Structure 1
Amino acid sequence: MPATHRTMPARPAADAAADLCRFAELVARAGLEPDLKRRYTDDPAAVFAEFGLLGAEPVYTAPSLVIEDLGRPDATATTLLTGIPYAV
């Protein structure tokens, strides 16, 4: 059975880049400002809101369960590790 992985819904690249910049600013300032670090530790959702970030887990649209067949080795991994092709 192939593995199924959870994915997030697609977002415009500009929104994702802006979120990353705001999050990077939050991390940098929390490292420099003890008061911000304390407030983030006490109430991360409120600090996220201050920086315009979503303080909740994203909603996933794909199945959230990952099922992998661990009963037999992966052919690609076996070949990479041993140099010998794995006959299925």
Structure 2
Amino acid sequence: MKVDPYKKNAKLYDTFIGPLTSGLRALGMKMFPPREGMAVLDVGCGTGIHLELYQKAGCNVYGIDQSPSMLQVARNRLGK
């Protein structure tokens, strides 16, 4: 039986962790600048907060995560 450690707090995760990782998101966009139509895979995508930036820039985004709860938040965020 697999345990989903984020089941209880997936919806609130970005509220607390989002501000702490904003610098990482900016660095990621600088190191890997988005291009229209570029494919982006985020392994351990969590809530999809990083993928959202690339999607808004016209990239095709894909994410995987071990937590079904976090993936559901990502799907809702990305409209998938």
Report the TM-score when normalising by structure 2.
Answer: 0.28
Structure number with greater CO (CA < 8 Å, separation at least 6) is: 1
Larger proportion of strand? 2
Report the TM-score when normalising by structure 1.
Answer: 0.27
